Amino acid sequence: MQTLSLPCPAKINLFLKITGRRPDGYHELQTLFQLLDYGDTLTLKHRDDDKIRLLSALSGVNSEDNLVVRAARKLQACSKHIACGADIQLDKRLPLGGGIGGGSSDAASALLGLNKLWQLGLSLDTLAEIGLELGADVPVFVRGKTSWAEGIGEKLEPLETPELWYVVIKPDCHVSTAEIFCHEQLTRHDSPIKIATFLGGGTGNSCEPLVRKLYPKIDKALIWLEQFSPAKLTGTGACVFASFEDQITAQTVCEQRPNDIQGFVARGVNTSPLHRALGLL
Ligand SMILES: C[C@@](CO)(OP(=O)(O)O)[C@H](O)COP(=O)(O)OP(=O)(O)OC[C@H]1O[C@@H](n2ccc(N)nc2=O)[C@H](O)[C@@H]1O
Ligand SMILES: Nc1ncnc2c1ncn2[C@@H]1O[C@H](COP(=O)(O)OP(=O)(O)O)[C@@H](O)[C@H]1O
């Protein structure tokens, strides 16, 4: 097999609590990562030399900093063969810095795809460990299941959720995850909750009050979406989302969004499209 074309699905955080801070500065959290059937596409072509070439530049991101190239280099270091190279084409649909895990998902698809293309035979456990070095959100995409998460997002327990339709919109602003986690006004000591408490409803995102205050456009987008269904921030933003029972209602809402707001409709899925494409689950 010489070429693989793979999906890189988005995620949303159905809730997010910050329960503490580790000595290295990373925050411990609780969240529910809901995978979506919508995302980027990564095409990997085997090369007989050891070059990693990114064929599609991402505006504002140096090729060597692109998470797919960083993932490929990390995996190359695990290879005992000399001829492990790849041409990589990344077709982006997911907005950058949206809190929907685009870069992390691209990295996970690169790890799983190149593991197959280069016949490395690494387990999902090993790939999740390598992924965690690239970002706290990478392991959930490596494991490929909608999951309850703790730690910094790497302690994962699959949780089946109703496969609802989501409207995800991105106001015209960019939120840096690091900026929010460094902010003195961030709530850092939420009490941990049980799964049953989340299922009982009403659990939100602890970053939301601060992000709404710092980014009026996000506040406005939440107010707009709230007209149709309860709306929440995903991750540290900038995207916000709301759920709907059926696709047509979700599409009708999405089409009415203000002109300066990007948006899409996606179905929540319990199993990643990446793993389905690779025949892993
Ligand atoms: C908090 C979440 C929820 O999904 O936010 P989003 O990025 O999706 O908005 C993620 O776990 C983010 O994961 P990811 O985007 O991979 O974060 P990383 O690249 O590992 O970290 C970016 C920066 O955010 C801070 N950070 C990140 C995660 C975490 N649990 N605690 C932190 O303090 C650190 O300062 C780190 O340098
Ligand atoms: N393949 C990639 N896709 C998106 N962003 C990338 C990628 N590689 C590196 N990045 C960098 O990672 C940052 C966060 O990306 P992204 O995963 O889209 O956001 P978030 O973690 O908020 O969901 C971007 O602003 C960009 O600088």
Which ipTM was obtained for this model? 0.95
Using pLDDT thresholds of 50, 70 and 90, give the confidence band for residue 1: low
- What local confidence, expressed as pLDDT, does residue 95 receive? 94
CA-to-CA distance for 233 and 235, rounded, in angstroms?
7
- What local confidence, expressed as pLDDT, does residue 134 receive? 97
Q: What is the CATH number of domain 165-269?
A: 3.30.70.890
Sequence-distant (6+) residues with CB within 8 A of 31 are 13, 14, 15, 16, 17, 148, 149, 153
User: Where in the chain are the domains?
Assistant: 3-159, 165-269
DSSP 63: G
For residue range 247-260, list pLDDT tens digits in order: 999 999 999 999 98
Sequence-distant (6+) residues with CB within 8 A of 174 are 96, 97, 238
pLDDT at 82 > cutoff 80: no
Residue located nearest, by CA, to atom 4 of ligand 2: 103
Candidates 106, 176, 177, 190: which one to mutate for ligand 1, based on the most atoms within 8 Å of Cβ? 177
Mean pLDDT of 228-254: 97
Is 82 annotated to bind a ligand? Reply is no
Verify whether residue 11 is a known catalytic residue.
yes
Closest ligand to the CA of 135: 1
- What local confidence, expressed as pLDDT, does residue 79 receive? 79
- What local confidence, expressed as pLDDT, does residue 260 receive? 87
Candidates 44, 61, 211, 236: which one to mutate for ligand 2, based on the most atoms within 8 Å of Cβ? 61
Q: Dig out the tokens for 34 from the structure.
A: 């809901």
- What local confidence, expressed as pLDDT, does residue 81 receive? 63
Residue 140: burial class (beta carbons within 10 Å; 0-12, 13-18, 19+): buried
For residue range 100-129, list pLDDT tens digits in order: 999 999 999 999 999 999 999 999 999 999
Mean pLDDT of 86-103: 96
Is 97 annotated to bind a ligand? Reply is yes
- CATH 2.60.120.10 assigned to domain 3-159? The reply is no
Q: Which residues on adjacent β-strands are paired with residue 4? A: 44
Check 37, 40, 137, 219 and give the catalytic one. Answer: 137
Verify whether residue 137 is a known catalytic residue.
yes
| CA triple 30-32-35, angle to 5 deg | 145
For residue range 157-194, list pLDDT tens digits in order: 999 999 999 999 999 999 999 999 999 999 888 999 99
Residue located nearest, by CA, to atom 26 of ligand 1: 26
Q: Dig out the tokens for 78 from the structure.
A: 């695990």
The DSSP result for 3-23, as a single string, is: EEEEEEEEEEEEEEEEEEE-T
CA-to-CA distance for 212 and 53, rounded, in angstroms?
39
CB 61 near ligand 2, within 6 Å: yes
Q: Is 231 helix (H, G, I), strand (E, B) or coil?
A: strand
Please state the pTM of the whole predicted model. 0.96
